[in-house]
Amino acid sequence: MSRYRGPRLKIIRRLKDLPGLTNKTLNPRKTRIAIDQSASKKISQFCVRLEAKQRLRFNYGLTERQSLRYVRIARKAEGSTGQVPLQLLEMRPDNIVFQLGMASTIPAARQLVNHRHIAVNDRMVDIPSYRCKPGDVITLRNRPNSYNGLKKQIEFSREDKVPDHSNLSLSGDNIPKGLVNGIVSRESIGLDINELLVVEYHSRKA
């Protein structure tokens, strides 16, 4: 499946809050009606696992193949098989740019990376799936159209960003500079998800 590009409120109405997908909020009345309608439906265990996988996919903007690939990597890595995919996703430059408040959503941050506005350790990075490491420094490239054109967006995002990660720090007034202090802990991840359900869903293919 390709990356989702449709209406985002339709997704969060079904999957609830996804901080990386959109900062828009639902109409409380419509949300209450949707909850009342879904309360009478019998939900299978497959649907529970499917919903967890979809929450992960839509929040981080992954394709189906990418989601499966992160689970396969986690199976070979040390540590919790459920937490490793989340930690890998949190170390992507598009997510770090979002968490630092340089973009209002992960799709907006991915656009900054794709358009070569982001540098890691003073080297241009235009691959959103690039894996950052502890000690990396993330900045906007020192170009007029990289900062001047995005100044208002950065100021707005800083006011409405998700809670700070313990592994990230932000400095710099003229050109924002982010530092990756370490691997993110599970408690610092703002997404409400049972990651083990995602692993169980992909266990049919992995």
Whether residue 91 contacts residue 183, with contact meaning beta carbons closer than 8 Å, is answered with: yes
Per the CB < 8 A criterion, the answer to whether 18 and 95 are in contact is no
- The DSSP bridge partners found for residue 180 are 168
C-alpha 194/C-alpha 114 separation (Å) is: 30
HSE, CB side, 13 Å, CA atoms: give it for residue 9.
8
Q: pLDDT means per 10 residues in the chain (206 residues)?
A: 72 83 69 51 84 92 92 88 91 91 88 91 92 91 65 58 62 76 85 90 78
Can you spell out the DSSP letters for 100-166? TTSSSSHHHHHHHHHTT-EEETTEE---TT----TT-EEEE-SSHHHHGGGHHHHHHHHHTPPPPPT
Say if residues 61 and 49 touch (Cβ distance below 8 Å).
no
- What gap in Å lies between CA 181 and CA 135, rounded to an integer? 6
Please tell me the predicted confidence (pLDDT) of residue 164: 54
Write the CB contacts of 156 (distance below 8 Å, at least 6 apart in sequence): 104
> Whole-angstrom Cα distance, residue 204 to residue 152?
45
**Could you give the domains of the chain?**
8-85+190-202 (1.10.1050.10), 92-182 (3.10.290.10)
Q: What is the chain's length?
A: 206
Phi and psi at residue 78, to the nearest 5°: -80, 150
Contact at 8 Å (CB) between 47 and 32? Answer: no
Question: What type of residue is 16?
Answer: K
